[in-house]
């Protein structure tokens, strides 16, 4: 088995036995995309979700023990997100870069803007997937701007290159969208992209639900990364709840009464009356009785004779 290919699938969390078994059946020259499909068909699951599902204290103790985990660090870098309230973020680097470059230039600065936006919110698990051929020098048919940002993000363990190679002068590129959806699904995170991944939705029914519920679209406005405040529509969760593992229920919004001060329902009215205190909403009849009692009591006090000292 080629060590580079075996090491790549081990980085995704698959066991060496499963990878070797698939490569023996498909052949040593099998493409990574085909190997990944076969692993999914076999039901082989990476070890990262199992370790993430364990309680936090037990997982920390296991990490400190002498036995080193077989799963690479970049799949375990949950940071505060695993035990905190923020979801992991998986960014479609090609989609974000081309969107920032107006679909003409692969703008790496757009990737940096998206990463910084999530970091400022407190997300500690942020991963960006980009095809490895983007490391090559730019050409006229595929211009790249600010290419040094990719190297900087790779050193920070934020950017992950999907494999690609050349066979007889032709570039063979693995399907990076499958890596993006797979990692986000296993980490129970959020996909940042304007792509709908319709082919992957038809391929896996579980991925279909996940993509529909966890896809965060965005826009660039004057070099500013702006996701929508309502990612799933007007009646869906807010952006904060969408990116949080423990959503906060929205505060009740009081609708003002259409009748205003002419309303005769009193405390039985279900609408909001700004002119009435919430603590004691009296009916109109009760308010009139209260005013009458106050006026009568004041009249009696004035009618009493005043005695001297």
- Are the CB atoms for 46 and 39 separated by under 8 Å? no
DSSP result, 230-284: -TT-TTS--HHHHTBSSPPPPPPPPPBPTTGGG---GGG--SB-TTS-SS----H
- Using the structure block, give the residue that is written with the tokens 């990719």: 150
Which residues make up the CATH 3.40.50.11980 domain(s) of the chain? 89-243
Q: Taking phi first (over 0 means left), then psi (-120 to 50 degrees means alpha), and beta for anything else, what does residue 157 get?
A: left
Determine the average pLDDT of the residues in 205-230. 91
138 or 302, higher pLDDT? 138
Count Cβ neighbours within 10 Å for each residue of 237-275 and write b for 16 or more, e otherwise.
bbeebbbeeeeeeeeeeeeebeeeeebeeeeeeeeebee
Residues 35-92: tens digit of each pLDDT: 777 777 776 666 644 444 444 444 444 444 343 334 444 444 444 444 468 999 999 9
Residues 1-31: tens digit of each pLDDT: 566 667 777 777 777 777 788 777 777 777 7
Q: Report CA 77 to chain centroid distance, whole Å.
A: 16
For residue 125, CA distances in Å to 25, 231, 305 come to 35, 20, 82
Highest mean pLDDT among 117-121, 258-262, 300-304: 117-121
For residue 164, CA distances in Å to 1, 31, 173, 238 come to 18, 9, 4, 38
Residues 161-211: tens digit of each pLDDT: 988 777 776 777 788 889 999 999 999 999 999 999 998 888 888 889 999
**Torsions phi, psi of 170, nearest 5?**
-105, 140
pLDDT at 151 over 80: yes
Residues 128-150: tens digit of each pLDDT: 999 988 888 888 888 999 999 99
According to CATH, the topology of domain 89-243 is Rossmann fold (3.40.50)
Strands (E), the chain: 89-92, 106-107, 126-131, 144-145, 159-162, 164-167, 170-173, 190-192, 215-216, 219-220, 225-226
pLDDT at 301 over 70: no
Q: Range with the lowest mean pLDDT among 114-118, 172-176, 205-209, 233-237?
A: 172-176
Q: Which residues contact 293 (CB under 8 A, 6 or more apart)?
A: none
5 or 253, higher pLDDT? 5
CA atoms within 13 A on the CB side of 127: 27
205 or 281, higher pLDDT? 205
How far is Cα 72 from Cα 232, in angstroms, rounded to an integer?
A: 33
CA nearest to 243, candidates 81, 80, 87:
87
Name the average pLDDT for the chain: 77
Q: Please give the model's pTM, rounded to 2 decimal places.
A: 0.56
CA nearest to 134, candidates 157, 161, 112, 102:
161
């Amino acid at each position: 088995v080629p060590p580079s290919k075996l090491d790549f699938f081990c980085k995704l969390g698959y066991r060496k036995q499963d990878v070797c078994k698939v490569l023996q059946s498909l052949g040593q020259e099998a493409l990574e995309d085909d190997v990944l499909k076969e692993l999914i068909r076999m039901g082989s699951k990476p070890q990262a979700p199992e370790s993430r599902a364990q309680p936090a204290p037990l997982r920390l103790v296991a990490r400190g023990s002498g036995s080193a985990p077989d799963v690479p660090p970049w799949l375990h870098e949950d940071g505060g997100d695993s035990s905190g309230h923020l979801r992991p973020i998986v960014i479609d680097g090609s989609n974000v870069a081309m969107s920032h470059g107006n679909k003409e230039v692969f703008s790496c600065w757009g990737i940096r803007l998206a990463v910084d936006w999530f970091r400022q919110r407190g997300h500690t698990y942020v991963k960006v997937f980009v095809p490895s051929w983007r490391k090559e020098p730019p050409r006229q048919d595929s211009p790249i701007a600010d290419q040094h940002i990719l190297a900087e993000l790779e050193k920070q363990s934020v950017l992950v290159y999907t494999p690609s190679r050349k066979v007889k002068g032709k570039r063979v590129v693995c399907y990076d969208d499958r890596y993006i959806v797979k990692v986000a699904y296993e980490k129970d995170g959020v996909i940042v992209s304007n792509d709908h991944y319709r082919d992957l939705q038809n391929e896996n029914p579980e991925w279909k639900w996940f993509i529909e519920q966890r896809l965060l679209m965005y826009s660039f406005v004057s070099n500013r990364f702006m996701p929508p405040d309502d990612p799933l529509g007007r009646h869906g969760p807010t952006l904060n709840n969408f990116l949080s593992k423990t959503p906060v229920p929205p505060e009740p919004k009081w609708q003002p009464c259409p009748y205003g001060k002419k309303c005769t329902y009193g405390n039985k009215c279900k609408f909001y009356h700004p002119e009435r205190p919430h603590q004691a909403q009296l009916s109109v009849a009760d308010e009139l009785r209260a005013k009458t009692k106050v006026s009568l009591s004041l009249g009696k006090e004035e009618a009493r004779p005043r005695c001297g000292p």
